[in-house]
Amino acid sequence: MRNLPLSVKIIISVVVCLAVGFLSGTSTVTSINSWYATLNKPFFNPPNWLFGPVWTILYIMMGVAFALVWHRGFGLTTQKSALLFFVAQFILNALWSIVFFGMQSPIFGLVVIVSLLVLLIFTFKKFKEIDNLSGNLLIPYICWVSFATILNLSIVILN
């Protein structure tokens, strides 16, 4: 896998990110029109249809960012550390949907998303050290997760 061309690594990484996103999102689908619809939400809550396209774009950007760092190799501790941070934050990313929507727990969702945001910032810093573009590709993701954290907190407060 070390000698794969960058294009193949990008395809693999994007497909994995999209697949994990899709699988974790299945817990969202069943709750969006039932439980979630009953919650009090802040005035800045986006329409439900917006989340799918935004996450799709973000997962693609995450996959490309991961592939760029992966392409630099696993030989150095810096790359290994960066990729481990990415995997850890990505697990929390998938877990958030399961906790917030699947378990219908905004408060535990808040704990998960704050942890995700912290790990994501560390991931960004590590990616930026290795490859400037890979770090920059995570900026929209950081912005969206920051917004989602405020939204999650607002839902906890309002309910």
pLDDT in tens, 73-102: 766 788 899 999 999 999 999 999 999 999
CATH number of 6-158: 1.20.1260.100
- Cβ neighbors of 114 (< 8 A, separation 6 or more) are 149
pLDDT of residue 26: 84
pTM of the model: 0.94
Residue pair 94/125 in contact (Cβ under 8 Å)? The answer is no
- Cβ neighbors of 120 (< 8 A, separation 6 or more) are 89, 138, 141, 142, 145
pLDDT of residue 44: 97
d(CA 122, CA 116): 10
d(CA 100, CA 23): 15
Residue 64 C-alpha from the chain's centroid: 13
Sites in the chain below the pLDDT cut of 70: 1-2, 74-75
DSSP state of 35: T
Residue pair 60/17 in contact (Cβ under 8 Å)? The answer is yes
- For the chain, give the number of residues: 159
